[in-house]
Structure 1
């Protein structure tokens, strides 16, 4: 790990007056004994113990109060990091870099004299294979009664609401009026996030994560951001820098020296406008020039153009730069660094400020003009060199011929968009139970909005469709935007089984029972259909749920029948 320096200051240090060179920062770290330290500046300060930072003084008050405070942990709360030492690892005329060391790695606070908050980052040395790694604040509920993400802003539930409700599953309670309290309704898509935090009338605590290349997962990666702690009432501000919510698999091994961050933890008077302005400034300053780490600063860019094999541009396609030669889904990749964008109307894309290294380029349909594309694109061995532009030029994406399509319901975009009850918000516990047990969709008459976003109840969903000329063979493609184990279905064509949707073949992702309504872990199922399975005239496909568990089932992306 390199040292932090102001590049401009370093350039003129020789010519600076003696008194300017001798200036020392006002930010501080003090050891007070018994594995306890105080760090901060003249605006705020934190008391850090071996495990928790249990005091945060800002604007004349302790903003932790009876809450837990700040800590770093992996695999939930099972393994909190314990700090064995703290030192000022580096400093300048108006900043210090405080390093806390644990056996797993080093956590840094970069504190500027005039900054209400601190830049933070973590350097791995011995983290185990894990799914979840996070930093977080648990703060005083009186100071921070509200939460804000880019899709949800409001008052966090009062602790008394939980005490008067019945626990029905993990961190989910049902109130006497039938409504639910759950922390998962405060989730969001991490790569869409501008800023988030908890706030009140006089104070706000915010996270800004510009760049986001150290996050795991692709464009549809979702995480819990803020919530009310149900047992204590603490206002919780999560920084899930490697998360597992709404995923099936996320177990990664990290190289010694992998860095998460830097991100900015920021305090203000509770103003969302001020936080939004600061978020824009941080995004504009990323990648941070002051962070003098060779691997962090070594970056290049990429560009290219995706053309479908039928000649169409891959307009609006989702583009992901991830692990080279990986057998993991793009959502489940997480050991290194990841970059996302979308192609324009001509299929062109570009990504800037990519860490140098060898990647794979992935792409898939995102609805719109390529809503019919069922295949994905992958190109391995994409090399990013420092200061260079990797121009992949024209890339051919093989797709199937549309002329043999018998019907398609919904866009291929890995999301439930367009289906009944899929909006307006992407998280609501129990909404899947509002979809009907039985449903009939008639091709040529029904529209996508007649098909519900998720299926989780005992019953049968039928698709009635005409066939003019029976193909020699066909294929039924079932694309699921998410799947939670506990509910299974048999898929029948004209009363003959052609496949199933079952826990026996699909691993669990935590989407439907944690209130996801737009996306989760995407799955693609393909079932062959013989010529004898179809007939001229009306045909019927049934998705018959024969075993159901409450709130567990699947989110629909698309269903397609085509001749082959």
Structure 2
């Protein structure tokens, strides 16, 4: 199974999750394999948990499976996440034991009821999910079967460049000529750092239905269109469906959410140049201290080693090691008598601040 360049492994068989071959864990989706039929997993304590293979919407463009004999690949390619709910950082399931490949469009996972669409009083609603491309590839017996993943990535990039697809017959799926485009430049003005405008390097900039700043994270009925600004703050959001939007953004390294103060009406064939936009992060004074980096990731904080009994070897020394099963229990084990204390100027958030805020 391949979800990304660094998340690939031989997976258990469905039978390995059957009674007698596994031990149920804290929730039904997670089991400890104790007697797997897969010879590659023999002698390995291994947690199987489909949530370990979740992925941000922004990165969820290709995932699937390789059969090594004969070398055949089965891939799901989703060139755009415009129809997924919750914005670019929303986590969604991908592939898992089955072999199962999921196309997740709407999900309350990791978020709760805020991301469940609600309809009242005969409210009309329609939306196009997809198209999603199922791609099959193969190679000769003598070839390295893992090349099939590289080929699937090439096909994914072809799909991204071809979006929106031209073949759907539905009038509800807008083709490229029916959509609009927005471009501009985002700058940051934080007078406690500098009196000069700073380019919003790497900012996430998007169009989503009108709402409050940050409301795109809970939006689940309509479409969202996101891009990243370059190192000078310039951005271009292309192939936007016709509708009315707010423009939102956040800038790695700065707290808060940006929202443009007027709605943007996208019409067919429109090219809207926003010019220079300025984000002023919320401030009441200079920064006295901070723990971590305001980048909407907990990667810089302390992620403990898992309990040796509940381990997935894929995530040992891995950037996504936070996905190991059962890390919530490690907090109480590490701090049995009282909660951790962080001493400003002395403590190191990479060692002294737990990556997740968990209950005992």
Which TM-score tier does this pair reach, normalised by the shorter chain? 0.7 to 0.9
Q: Secondary structure at the match of 1:340?
A: strand
User: CA offsets per residue over residues 259-300 of structure 1, 9 Å max, x none?
Assistant: 111121122226223322222222221111233555512111
Structure 2 SS opposite 1:449: helix
Q: Secondary structure at the match of 2:294?
A: coil
Superposition pairs for residues 87-106 of structure 1, below 5 Å?
Answer: none
Partner of 2:288: 406
**Are 1:352 and 2:238 an aligned pair?**
yes
Note the residue ranges of structure 1 that are not aligned, 5 or more in a row: 1-146, 229-233, 457-486, 488-547, 549-564
Q: How much does 1:323 deviate?
A: 1.0
* Secondary structure of 1:242's aligned partner: coil
1:424 to 319, 332, 343: 319
Q: Report how far residue 328 of structure 1 moved.
A: 7.3
TM-score by length of 1: 0.50
1:72-119 deviation line (CA, Å, top 9, x unaligned)? xxxxxxxxxxxxxxxxxxxxxxxxxxxxxxxxxxxxxxxxxxxxxxxx
Contact kept in structure 2, 1:319 and 1:361, CA below 8 Å: yes
**How do 1:113-512 residues align onto structure 2 when only pairs under 5 Å count?**
147-150=1-4, 151-162=6-17, 163-175=21-33, 180-201=47-68, 202=70, 203-228=72-97, 234-248=98-112, 249-253=114-118, 255-269=124-138, 271-295=148-172, 296-297=174-175, 298-310=178-190, 311-325=197-211, 329-366=215-252, 371=253, 373-379=254-260, 380-401=262-283, 403-421=285-303, 424-425=319-320, 427-435=323-331, 436-437=334-335, 438-450=339-351, 451-456=353-358, 487=359
Please tell me whether the aligned partners of residues 242 and 334 of structure 1 are also in contact (alpha carbons under 8 angstroms). Answer: yes
Whether the 8 Å CA contact 2:187–2:276 is kept in 1: the answer is yes
TM-aligned CA deviation for residue 377 of structure 1: 1.0
Deviates more, 1:391-400 or 1:169-178: 169-178
SS of 1:282's partner is: helix
Q: Specify the alignment match of 1:132 in structure 2.
A: none
Secondary structure at the residue paired with 2:151? helix
Q: Is the 8 A contact 1:383 1:390 kept in 2?
A: no
Kindly provide the CA deviation profile for residues 301-327 of structure 1, in whole angstroms up to 9, marking residues without a partner as x: 111222234333322222221111358
SS at match of 1:268: strand
Does the C-alpha gap of structure 1 residues 283 and 250 become closer, same or farther in structure 2, counting only changes over 3 Å? same
Q: Is contact 2:213-2:257 (8 Å) kept? A: no
Distance change >3 Å, CA 197–CA 179, structure 1 → 2: closer
Question: How far is the alpha carbon of 1:431 from its aligned partner?
Answer: 2.5
CA distance in 1, matches of 2:101, 2:265: 37
Name the CA distance, whole Å, in 2 between partners of 1:241 and 1:210: 13
Where does residue 101 of structure 1 map in the other structure? Answer: none
Contact 2:213 2:258 in 1 (8 A): no
- 8 Å CA contact 1:189–1:223 kept in 2: the answer is yes
- The structure that is helix-richer by fraction is 2
2-side partners of 1:259 and 1:326: how far apart? 25
Quote the Cα distance in structure 2 between the aligned partners of 1:327 and 1:445: 35
Paired residues of 1:320 and 1:340 also in contact (CA < 8 A): yes
For residues 455 and 251 of structure 1, do their structure 2 counterparts lie closer, same or farther at Cα, with a shift above 3 Å needed? closer
Tell me the matched-pair count.
302
Aligned residues of 2:205 and 2:248 also touching (Cα < 8 A)? yes
SS of equivalent residue, structure 1 residue 404: coil
C-alpha change, 1:211 and 1:178, in structure 2 (3 Å) is closer
Unaligned regions of 5+ residues in structure 2, if any?
Answer: 35-43, 139-144, 191-196, 305-317
Contact 1:166 1:173 in 2 (8 A): yes
Shift of 1:200: 0.9
- C-alpha distance in 2, partners of 1:448/1:285? 43
Distance in 1 separating the partners of 2:286 and 2:125: 52
Q: Of the two, which has the highest radius of gyration?
A: 1
Q: Assess if the C-alpha contact under 8 Å between 1:204 and 1:267 holds in 2.
A: yes
Asked which structure has the greater RCO (Cα within 8 Å, sep 6+), the reply is 2
Q: 1:261 to 1:349 in 2, by over 3 A?
A: same
Change beyond 3 A, Cα 1:375–1:212 = closer
Closer, same or farther in 2 for the Cα pair 1:257/1:440, shift >3 Å? closer
